[in-house]
Amino acid sequence: MTEARVYPVTEAQRQNTLADNERYLEMYQQSVVNPERFWREHGQRIDWFTPYTQIKDVSFDHENVDINWFFDGTTNASYNCLDRHLEHKADQVAIIWEPDEEDKPSLKVTYKELHERVCRFANGLKSQGVGRGDVVAIYMPMVVEATVAMLACSRIGAIHSVVFGGFSPEALAGRIIDSNAKLVITADEGIRGGRKVPLKKNVDLALENQAVTSIEKVIVLRHTHGEIFWQEGRDVNWHDLTALASPNCSAEEMNAEDPLFILYTSGSTGQPKGVLHTTGGYLVYASMTHQYVFDYKDGEVFWCNADVGWITGHTYVTYGPLLNGATMVMHEGVPNYPASNRISKIVDKHQVNILYTAPTAIRALMAEGDAAVEGTDRSSLRLLGSVGEPINPEAWSWYYKTIGNEQCPIVDTWWQTETGGAMLTPLPGATDLKPGSATRPFFGIKPALVDNEGRILEGKQEGNLVILDSWPGQARSVFGDHERFVQTYFSSFKGMYTTGDGARRDEDGYYWITGRVDDVLNVSGHRMGTAEIESALVSHHDVAEAAVVGFPHDIKGQGIYVYVTLTAESEYSDELKTELRQWVRKEIGPIASPDIIQWAPGLPKTRSGKIMRRILRKIASGEYENLGDTSTLADPGVVESLIKDRTLAG
């Protein structure tokens, strides 16, 4: 089913762009026919301490997966985001910070000031014994200091591991243990929608976990000035640390393939894995995609409202915009606080030109109708972006008409934590838009569709989305577990990167993402593994077995549907449902809280004991006909009773 309406590039957009369609086609062709030549040229968009002579050395062979870009060059991420702008842009605003409370003042930080803050904090980190190759966990609210912390780490060659502030102490502890982080950087509290988030308290709880042995210090930013516990000798006040620190700190010379950061993300099995990105290729890809996808022009105000705890916040809050010397907005709060017109008001207040957000936020605002734009004109907007999940055509049209006044193209960007930057995306000025389609590949990206046997499908087809060759922003490994990297991404289809997404290609070669083909959920644009939630549930003493599936949800895209079998001694009750919800929030965080819990005295299993999720997904979605082949079930009666109880659930 192809959306009939096409939104063609207008003449004005075509004339005022980095790349019109002809240029896109020409550059795309060059990038895939001779990637070495293409990236030799575009790798120079960042500054190198030692210029590279080598471009690409890559193997996707599952016996020996090895990915290297620009690998004899040296550079530094923080230097590229800050120092090199000081000559011409020292007094230009780098970050406009907008607080949660509307009536509190916003804050503007210039490149010169940001540079100084980063240098001071980097020296502070050094004084605490942090150096090259050390892992630093960052558990911060959306404040300027989150960016300062990331850039200070990269300045001294430390590897940052940002953990989303919405994750629970248990989830934070798990990530600290896996990454062996030496230090945590946090704040007393964050504020979201008027509610305090007890970040320091969560860190204290995480560090009580006996298995956390690597943390030497906790650096605490006083942000809300709320009351906190203070452990002498361990806890260090951010302001004390930086007040006397020198404002000069030279940037470490890093090899292009030295690690830049780890970011944990969910997969279809086991606990989240630490996706590892390295320095040179990531920076080149972040800056190039930020510039071309958003057609970013000097002096424009760019606002990506993702949290720095996700990859979008790494590439399009911190690195991409700063690499390109942009002015960007950073907002601590939520899109609908104090009212649903907050995003629109921030756009007007700071004259935002480019707004990049997620379909779940768009759908939530759409539900409010015109209230979402009340009292605003948003006339500064030139371009809109969407990321994180498929955008349904209704939400696309509402975004286009109501937020964008029918003046702004929408770039629907498909990508992943593992890809580092946008992969399938329109380029404004080049690509005619079809609502719901992420359209065409970015430069250097060779997407393909394969069937379940790995055979490449040509033309108008639907299949598994794979990428046939490497690109500079690609993740290099899973931290501490290269074998898992190989297994997850390179073992299903030989010689190809497996994305885990399904897609369809239409008659114009446009891609339409159909969603995950594995056991990964996408809830409000947050990626979560069903296995993680199940393992949290079965760690509760009353739970014998649990199966988690996604189901369609109007605002969140997907909701979390949980089937629970209790132990023989436990009693099924509504109180227990509430307790289990709380339990999952405690184990993982509020984002993993089940929408619906259904008691399931039995689960549909094959005779070999495998849970048949396909059937559970259908029941959760209310699609009772067409359950497919149930003849292999050990006890077909289970299905009937689950359907009967479905209406009673949640």
Positions touching ligand PRX (CB under 6 A) are 265, 310-312, 387-390, 412-417, 438, 499-501, 513, 516, 522, 527
CA–CA gap between residue 586 and residue 584 (Å, rounded): 5
- The three state secondary structure string of 521-552 is EEECCEEEEHHHHHHHHHCCCCEEEEEEEEEE
Nearest-approach distance from CB 164 to ligand PRX, in angstroms: 10
- The three state secondary structure string of 343-362 is HHHHHHHCCCCEEEECHHHH
CB-wise, 260 or 513, nearer to ligand PRX? 513
Nearest-approach distance from CB 272 to ligand PRX, in angstroms: 11
Q: State both tokens at 584.
A: 């999952």
What is the pairing mode between strands 66-69 and 74-75?
unpaired
Nearest-approach distance from CB 26 to ligand PRX, in angstroms: 25
Question: Does 132 belong to an annotated binding site?
Answer: no
Question: Does 505 belong to an annotated binding site?
Answer: no
Nearest-approach distance from CB 557 to ligand PRX, in angstroms: 9
CA–CA gap between residue 75 and residue 413 (Å, rounded): 28
| Residue 33 vs residues 90, 293, 387, 444, 469: alpha-carbon distances, Å | 39, 21, 28, 9, 11
Half-sphere exposure of 35 (CA within 13 A, CB side): 18
Reduced to 3 states (helix: H, G, I; strand: E, B; else coil), residue 42 is helix
CB-wise, 281 or 421, nearer to ligand PRX? 421
Report DSSP state, residue 406. Answer: T
At residue 102, φ and ψ (nearest 5 deg) are -60, -35
Question: Does 646 belong to an annotated binding site?
Answer: no
Give the chain's end-to-end CA distance (angstroms, integer).
33
Report DSSP state, residue 45. Answer: G
CB-wise, 161 or 499, nearer to ligand PRX? 499
Give the residue among 59, 469, 489, 77 at the shortest CA–CA distance from 275.
489
CB-wise, 74 or 524, nearer to ligand PRX? 524
Question: Does 516 belong to an annotated binding site?
Answer: yes
Nearest-approach distance from CB 357 to ligand PRX, in angstroms: 12
Question: Does 293 belong to an annotated binding site?
Answer: no
| Residue bearing tokens 């899109």 | 335
CA–CA gap between residue 251 and residue 202 (Å, rounded): 32
Nearest-approach distance from CB 413 to ligand PRX, in angstroms: 5
Q: Give me the DSSP letters along 169-218.
A: HHHHHHHHHHHT-SEEEEES-EEETTEEE-HHHHHHHHHHSTT-----EE
Nearest-approach distance from CB 464 to ligand PRX, in angstroms: 12
Question: Does 250 belong to an annotated binding site?
Answer: no
CA–CA gap between residue 346 and residue 294 (Å, rounded): 19
Helices and strands (H, E) in the chain, number of each type: 21, 31
Nearest-approach distance from CB 132 to ligand PRX, in angstroms: 28
Nearest-approach distance from CB 593 to ligand PRX, in angstroms: 18
Task: List, in sequence order, every residue forming a beta bridge with 135; answer none if it has no partner.
Answer: 159
Question: Does 192 belong to an annotated binding site?
Answer: yes
CB-wise, 274 or 604, nearer to ligand PRX? 274
Question: Which amino acid would we find at residue 542?
Answer: D
Nearest-approach distance from CB 38 to ligand PRX, in angstroms: 23
Reduced to 3 states (helix: H, G, I; strand: E, B; else coil), residue 107 is strand
Question: Does 557 belong to an annotated binding site?
Answer: no
CB-wise, 471 or 583, nearer to ligand PRX? 471
Question: Does 524 belong to an annotated binding site?
Answer: yes
Question: Does 416 belong to an annotated binding site?
Answer: yes
Nearest-approach distance from CB 432 to ligand PRX, in angstroms: 17
CB-wise, 333 or 436, nearer to ligand PRX? 436
Question: Does 120 belong to an annotated binding site?
Answer: no
CB-wise, 56 or 504, nearer to ligand PRX? 504
CB-wise, 121 or 400, nearer to ligand PRX? 400
Cβ–Cβ under 8 Å, residues 534 and 519: no
- Counting Cβ atoms within 10 Å, is residue 487 exposed (0-12), middle (13-18) or buried (19+)? middle
CB-wise, 69 or 489, nearer to ligand PRX? 489
Nearest-approach distance from CB 47 to ligand PRX, in angstroms: 27
Reduced to 3 states (helix: H, G, I; strand: E, B; else coil), residue 307 is coil
CB-wise, 116 or 418, nearer to ligand PRX? 418
Question: Does 415 belong to an annotated binding site?
Answer: yes
Q: Where are the alpha helices (DSSP H) in 265-372?
A: 280-293, 311-313, 320-323, 342-349, 359-366
Question: Does 193 belong to an annotated binding site?
Answer: yes
Question: Does 585 belong to an annotated binding site?
Answer: yes
Nearest-approach distance from CB 148 to ligand PRX, in angstroms: 23
Question: Does 412 belong to an annotated binding site?
Answer: yes
Cβ–Cβ under 8 Å, residues 571 and 599: no
CB-wise, 74 or 289, nearer to ligand PRX? 289
Which residue has its beta carbon closest to ligand PRX?
A: 417
Give the residue among 559, 529, 547 at the shortest CA–CA distance from 266.
529
| Residue 445 vs residues 29, 304, 497, 612, 621: alpha-carbon distances, Å | 10, 23, 11, 35, 35
CB-wise, 258 or 501, nearer to ligand PRX? 501
Question: Does 188 belong to an annotated binding site?
Answer: no
Cβ–Cβ under 8 Å, residues 90 and 110: yes
Question: Does 508 belong to an annotated binding site?
Answer: no
Give the residue among 416, 415, 413, 344 at the shortest CA–CA distance from 374.
344
Give the residue among 517, 522, 511 at the shortest CA–CA distance from 445.
511
Extract the annotated binding site for CoA: 192-195, 312, 336, 524, 585
Residue list for the binding site for Mg(2+): 538, 540, 543
Residue set of the binding site: 192-195, 312, 336, 388-390, 412-417, 501, 516, 524, 527, 538, 540, 543, 585
Binding residues for ATP: 388-390, 412-417, 501, 516, 527
